[in-house]
Structure 1
Amino acid sequence: MLLDGRNAIIYGGAGSIGSAIARAYAAQGARVFLAGRTRETLEKVGLEFAVVDALDERAVDDHADAVAAEAGSIDISVNVIADDDVQGTPMADMPLDDYLAPVVTSVRSKFLTARAAARHMRVQRSGVILTFGGSGDRTAQHNYLLGGLQTGFDAIEAMRRQLAVELGEHGIRVITLQTGGVPEAIPEAFEGRAAIEADLTKQTLLGRTATLEDVGHVAVFAASDWARTITGAALNMTCGAVLD
């Protein structure tokens, strides 16, 4: 299996994206440690977990130290926590805090979790740090009423490039998993889901969007030795909605 003997921490592991990645990792032989804020949802995934707020510096560091001590290494770190974004409001009408929320949340959590993993990965001289999102199409249509979400994504891409440069000499790879949206991740009860799925599909070249299974497969590839030549890059699984 592709991830035999690997130890992975997934922040936001109880969400639809996080749990899809977690199950894909476990199926490929990894030992998976879920981290999230809500015990009840973490329990439903059926894997090892700890209640950890990815915005809490001490909690993130202590948890990473505990995983490394118990498992012997941290080989993969994935951060897919929710970004607290507010969409649908023009920037001219948006409160400052609503605009900054996905920027501050995303940058703070990705910095803390990447730093915690990197401190252990440098010692073992190997590891993979994965984030999720990526810079999107810069046309006016795709940036319409997204609030601070795209600003947050762009900030994380800058962080990804810097981390890749700083950590490459230690054998650590840093990759973004880039999608154009995963309709399956939208709660079924959300009344606008069908319209969003139709819009996202229309933007693709393949006439379909990525599924949660697709996300899991790409995440496995990115963390495996099959992708050992890839770092500092975004793996584009947008089905052609974004052209690099």
Structure 2
Amino acid sequence: MTEASSSFSLQGKRGIIIGLANEHSIAYGCAAMLRQLGAKMLLSCVNDKARQFVGPLADALESSLVVCDVEQDGSLEALVDAAVNELGEFDFLIHSIAWAPLDDLRGRVIDSSSAGFSRAMNVSCHSFVRLAKLCEPHLSMNASIMTMTYLGADEAVAHYGIMGPVKAALESTVRYLATELGAHGIRVHAISPGPVPTRAASGLQDFDVLMQKAIDRSPLRRLVTLDEIGRLAAFLVSDASSGMTGQTLYVDGGYHIVN
């Protein structure tokens, strides 16, 4: 990770980041940048197998790691309990998980199964609502809550499948949570990165084509980095963004402005 500016600090900020998969995951990019800037956090991964691989990453970030499968009853509750015991209250939450059954993800939306669509919505969208609800009593004034989305929420992106409607629901959820929690000073945002080669993205068909298209057509003519995504998350955690809420913020080299 690149060295962060010494004039910008998140010292004293505490929070939860869920979705650590490996050193290429967006959750890791955010965690590494926030830790570099002084924040303390509790991290989660999906199962014990993943823990074997990401445990050293959490150790390097001096952060506790908890297994949390949002499809398992009580798993999110246990995660939040662990975070409360360790951190007390929270200044930020970063939700960076998304999943859909492969058959539904790679097929047409019109052919998607009810069960597959429901599971994708539960894991990728409603888990964000549940996390926010569980943490609400423990959020500090001016806390910042974030989730990760993608341009496919607004545009019909080839091979993005049911994740397009799911991400559209997630972005709408951000706006409603921002409205409901704003009176308590709590801010809610969606971060929309351009395509980055994460494990989750590898499930998409022709993802290499999608990345090349972003390079060819975005104004910056390149993919964004985990550092750049992490820096946007850090800004949203910081008091510098205290007057903002309810937005989808793009970090995609400007690709979203190109027709």
TM-score (structure 2 length as normaliser) = 0.81
Counterpart AA for 2:145: I
Instruction: Select the residue among 213, 230, 234 that pairs with 1:199.
Output: 213
Between the aligned partners of 1:133 and 1:154, the Cα distance in structure 2 is: 8
Counterpart in 1 of 2:16?
A: 9
Percent of residue pairs bearing the same amino acid type: 25
Q: Is the 8 A contact 1:85 1:147 kept in 2?
A: no
Counterpart AA for 1:172: I
Counterpart in 1 of 2:131?
A: 113
Could you say what secondary structure the match of 2:41 adopts?
strand
Counterpart AA for 1:3: L
Counterpart AA for 1:151: P
Could you say what secondary structure the match of 1:23 adopts?
helix
Could you say what secondary structure the match of 2:255 adopts?
coil
Could you say what secondary structure the match of 1:128 adopts?
strand
Q: How does 1:116-155 map to 2 (within 5 A)?
A: 116-121=134-139, 124-136=140-152, 138-139=154-155, 142-155=156-169
Q: Cα distance 1:92–1:231, how it changes in 2: closer, same or farther (>3 A)?
A: closer
Counterpart in 1 of 2:39?
A: 30
Q: How does 1:1-244 map to 2 (within 5 A)?
A: 1-15=8-22, 16-38=25-47, 39-45=51-57, 46=59, 47-56=63-72, 58-84=74-100, 86=102, 87-121=105-139, 124-136=140-152, 138-139=154-155, 142-183=156-197, 194-243=208-257
The CA deviation string for residues 112-155 of structure 1, in whole angstroms up to 9 with x for no partner, is 1111222211xx3331110001454745xx43332210111111
> Any gaps of 5 or more consecutive residues in structure 2?
1-7
Between the aligned partners of 1:187 and 1:150, the Cα distance in structure 2 is: 13
> Any gaps of 5 or more consecutive residues in structure 1?
none
Could you say what secondary structure the match of 2:10 adopts?
coil
- Between 81-90 and 20-29, the greater mean CA deviation after superposition: 81-90
Counterpart AA for 1:110: F
- Between 143-152 and 49-58, the greater mean CA deviation after superposition: 49-58
The CA deviation string for residues 7-37 of structure 1, in whole angstroms up to 9 with x for no partner, is 1211112341111111111100011210122
- Between 128-137 and 88-97, the greater mean CA deviation after superposition: 88-97
Counterpart AA for 2:174: R
Q: Cα distance 1:173–1:31, how it changes in 2: closer, same or farther (>3 A)?
A: same
1:183 Cα offset (Å): 3.2
Counterpart AA for 1:240: G
